[in-house]
Structure 1
Amino acid sequence: MTAREHRPVAAIRDLAHVDGLPPEEARARSAVLREFEFRITPYYAGLVDWSDPEDPLRLIVMPEVEELSGDQHFDPSDEASNTRVRGLQHKYPPTALLLLTDVCAAYCRFCFRKRFTLGTDPVHHVRPEGDLDSAERETTLDITEGLRYLHAHPEIDNVLLTGGDPLMLSPSRLAAVLTDVRTVPHIGVIRIGSKVPAFDPARITPALTRILALASRVDARTHVMCHFTHSRELTPEALAATTRLQDAGIVLTNQTPLLRGVNDDPDELALLQRRLAANGIAPYYLFLCRPTRGNERFALPLTEALGIVTAARARLNGPAKRFRVVASHATGKIEILGRTRDEILLRYHEARDPADQDRLLTWPVGRPLTWLDEVVAAN
């Protein structure tokens, strides 16, 4: 089936319907599914080796009982503090986020917004201060309030459409949002965060591509922030989808977390970045896994993560090593720069408090650490 002929195919939402997964594995995860949903496209299910518990693509989407354990919370980057009106976050002066949907083509088990994507209980949603209506979801397609906020804040020059995955919206609904955002005169860049090119590339139809292209001007581009996490996701189908976007003038970049068991091997990480660059998808961010409820199994100690990245970069050409290694901390995006013999060096790449912008931080190499709360407190 070509992209032109693509019709939505029902997502697989029941582990019992996954071909190749032993029935006992599905039954063993029933408690997890009461709290965190499962969803996968038939396309992506066909890429997974369900017989291998260590298959990286399986780890991305497969529910595990560890998701119900641990003392981590649902908002590790304190997005509640950045929520100005329903569905809009504003953390850094030039950037606003519009959260349009809670649906993705498939659900990553490490999602830092699992409070409203995978999560079945809306009690964990964050809302604007004073909005206590638990019946309202955190995301919204009605951007009336958000649009009013954007018009009132001329310091905002780029908007990230996110969720959930905005490319799961119908083309007409997405077109309406893009048209509205383009009415804000000081918005130059519109970014769309999406894993659809990896999870369901046939969804990138010519019709959808035209809608994205119409929202892009020579002096005000539309960007798609892809989420390719492992090199096996860069299939011929996925690369055909990204090529359609590129041919329409859409700017493509990639961001992914560094995840234990998925892409924490220097050879795999280098292969991913190399293939992205070779296909014109600029490596952008490599994130530390955020300490969200149940994500401990994916997290890497800071020193280990830095060692993996250093080894991978040694294998890469210039375009492939453009990515920054960052942690999206509550206080800002903190970049991990490198290390001396004794210390790890970090810097505020973006800061919630302008006084922190570009401030350097340090951490002793020998002290174990997986998240940066202690770093911030110590500096």
Structure 2
Amino acid sequence: MSLDYMLDQTVDTIDELDRYIKLSKDEKESLEKVIDKHPMRISRYYLSLIDKNDPKDPIRRMIVPSIEELDTSGYYDTSGEAENTKMIGLQHKYPQTALILSTNRCATYCRYCFRKRLVGLSSREVIQNFRDAVNYIKEHEEISNVLISGGDPLTLSTKMIRKFLEMLSEIDHLCFIRFGTKIPVSLPERILTDEELLSIFKEFSVPNRRIYIVTQFNHPREITEEAISAIDLLLKSNVLVNNQTVLLKGVNDDPEILAELMNQLVSIGVSPYYVFQCRPVKRVTHFQVPLIKGYRIIKETKNMLDGFGKRFRYIMSHKTGKIEIVGMIDNEIYFKYHQARDPRDRGKVFKKRIIKDATWIDDF
């Protein structure tokens, strides 16, 4: 099965969606307004994971548009990506890491996406000439790793992925290369049916320079037999797999669900890496959990886990850096810069007086 065929089979209209999930006339009219602003795309595999009889199904909430997206409060660039862009499609926020926006396409468009401004839309933010990015990285020897993101880079052709890896492998000071992808979650057949892709990963993920896949399982029900098989093939191709979860209201804002997720990830060979606070992105804020509630959820989750399961950090990816939410004492909440754009902030611990409904550091 070709990649183009798999991507062509996705559901991207409300009429198509209605064949899977019955919608009222009013719902259809409202959702048309939503996808007119931010397109819908859902792989048929991912759609099959929804419990059609449950309007509050967590998978449905993540991938099916809702009228809550008509709320335009928030911002489209909450992490300061524009100010860290060094050339079209390349960001350099932290000294050690270069971020490449390789595409604006995904197999499924998550409704909570923090790059809602570009994913699925015509965009001038995606890399135009990969060689220019490679030259920039060569000239900046402080860069130890590259994160290829998007959109989803595994929606690119296998031939293109090989080209990227060939060019990056020319750079001696790179220690590892990451792909940020949700393909193991949303379209595992992309991995299961492409022996060439796996062969390329095995060729370029070598003992002194590994390839990492950073994926995003948010709910235990995403860990299906197909997803497990895809992860297994990646691991057998010398690829290391980490996971970033987003804390989402109505999806995984429950310690038992998160603990089950982390335990299952460890069981299949995926390392929990971050749990991200959902960002205050326009048309996404309905997914946010207040920070004090989020901290309590994470604390209770970790109490149920062993050392491997609780390795993740609870993080806000703010324009000033990655801020870890580390604790609460009395009426104050404590934070630490895990990464910082300003060198003076690196490792800095600070506190704020608790505000009950605050969902982002700027709310304090």
With structure 2 as the length reference, what TM-score do the two structures score?
A: 0.95
CA apart distance, 1:28: 3.1
| 2:301 is equivalent to residue 299 of structure 1 | no
CA apart distance, 1:252: 0.4
- Say which of 267, 271, 291 aligns to 1:282: 271
Give the whole-Å Cα distance in 2 for the aligned partners of 1:14 and 1:52.
21
CA apart distance, 1:27: 3.4
Q: Name the SS of the counterpart of 1:319 in structure 2.
A: coil
| 2:308 is equivalent to residue 319 of structure 1 | yes
Q: Which residue of structure 1 aligns with residue 180 of structure 2?
A: 193
Q: Name the SS of the counterpart of 1:78 in structure 2.
A: coil
Q: Which residue of structure 2 aligns with residue 35 of structure 1?
A: 37
Check the 8 A contact 2:63/2:108 in 1, yes or no: yes
- After superposition, the Cα gap between the structure-2 partners of 1:6 and 1:14, relative to the gap in structure 1 and judged at 3 Å, is closer
Q: Which residue of structure 1 aligns with residue 142 of structure 2?
A: 155
Which amino acid counterpart does residue 185 of structure 1 have in structure 2?
Answer: D
- After superposition, the Cα gap between the structure-2 partners of 1:333 and 1:212, relative to the gap in structure 1 and judged at 3 Å, is same
Determine what percentage of the aligned residue pairs are the same residue: 39
Q: Name the SS of the counterpart of 2:209 in structure 1.
A: coil
Which amino acid counterpart does residue 330 of structure 2 have in structure 1?
Answer: R
Q: Which residue of structure 1 aligns with residue 14 of structure 2?
A: 15
- Say which of 240, 260, 263 aligns to 1:251: 240
Which amino acid counterpart does residue 20 of structure 2 have in structure 1?
Answer: G
Give the whole-Å Cα distance in 1 for the aligned partners of 2:32 and 2:239.
41
Give the whole-Å Cα distance in 1 for the aligned partners of 2:106 and 2:226.
19
- After superposition, the Cα gap between the structure-2 partners of 1:279 and 1:12, relative to the gap in structure 1 and judged at 3 Å, is same
- Say which of 155, 180, 186 aligns to 1:168: 155
Q: Which residue of structure 2 aligns with residue 133 of structure 1?
A: none
* 1:90-148, Cα deviation, whole Å (9 max, x unpaired): 00000000110000010100100011104x4x5xx5xxxxxxxxxxx211252122111
In the comparison of the two structures, how many residue pairs are matched?
358
Q: Which residue of structure 1 aligns with residue 262 of structure 2?
A: 273
* 1:125-179, Cα deviation, whole Å (9 max, x unpaired): 5xxxxxxxxxxx2112521221111011000000000000001111001110111
- Say which of 69, 74, 77 aligns to 2:76: 74
Which amino acid counterpart does residue 91 of structure 2 have in structure 1?
Answer: Q
| 2:102 is equivalent to residue 107 of structure 1 | no
| 2:327 is equivalent to residue 334 of structure 1 | no
Check the 8 A contact 2:290/2:356 in 1, yes or no: no
Q: Name the SS of the counterpart of 1:91 in structure 2.
A: coil
Q: Which residue of structure 1 aligns with residue 99 of structure 2?
A: 97
Which amino acid counterpart does residue 189 of structure 2 have in structure 1?
Answer: A
Check the 8 A contact 2:46/2:186 in 1, yes or no: yes
CA apart distance, 1:302: 0.6
Q: Which residue of structure 2 aligns with residue 128 of structure 1?
A: none
Q: Which residue of structure 1 aligns with residue 338 of structure 2?
A: 349
- After superposition, the Cα gap between the structure-2 partners of 1:6 and 1:139, relative to the gap in structure 1 and judged at 3 Å, is closer
CA apart distance, 1:373: 1.7
Q: How does 1:351-366 map to 2 (within 5 A)?
A: 351-366=340-355
Q: Name the SS of the counterpart of 1:257 in structure 2.
A: strand
Q: Name the SS of the counterpart of 1:325 in structure 2.
A: strand
Give the whole-Å Cα distance in 1 for the aligned partners of 2:31 and 2:186.
22
Check the 8 A contact 1:86/1:145 in 2, yes or no: no
Q: Which structure 2 residue ranges, 5 or more long, are not aligned?
A: none
Which amino acid counterpart does residue 345 of structure 1 have in structure 2?
Answer: Y
CA apart distance, 1:87: 0.7
Give the whole-Å Cα distance in 1 for the aligned partners of 2:112 and 2:356.
25
Give the whole-Å Cα distance in 2 for the aligned partners of 1:12 and 1:165.
17
With structure 1 as the length reference, what TM-score do the two structures score?
A: 0.91
Q: Which structure 1 residue ranges, 5 or more long, are not aligned?
A: 126-136
- After superposition, the Cα gap between the structure-2 partners of 1:306 and 1:38, relative to the gap in structure 1 and judged at 3 Å, is same
Q: Which residue of structure 1 aligns with residue 64 of structure 2?
A: 62
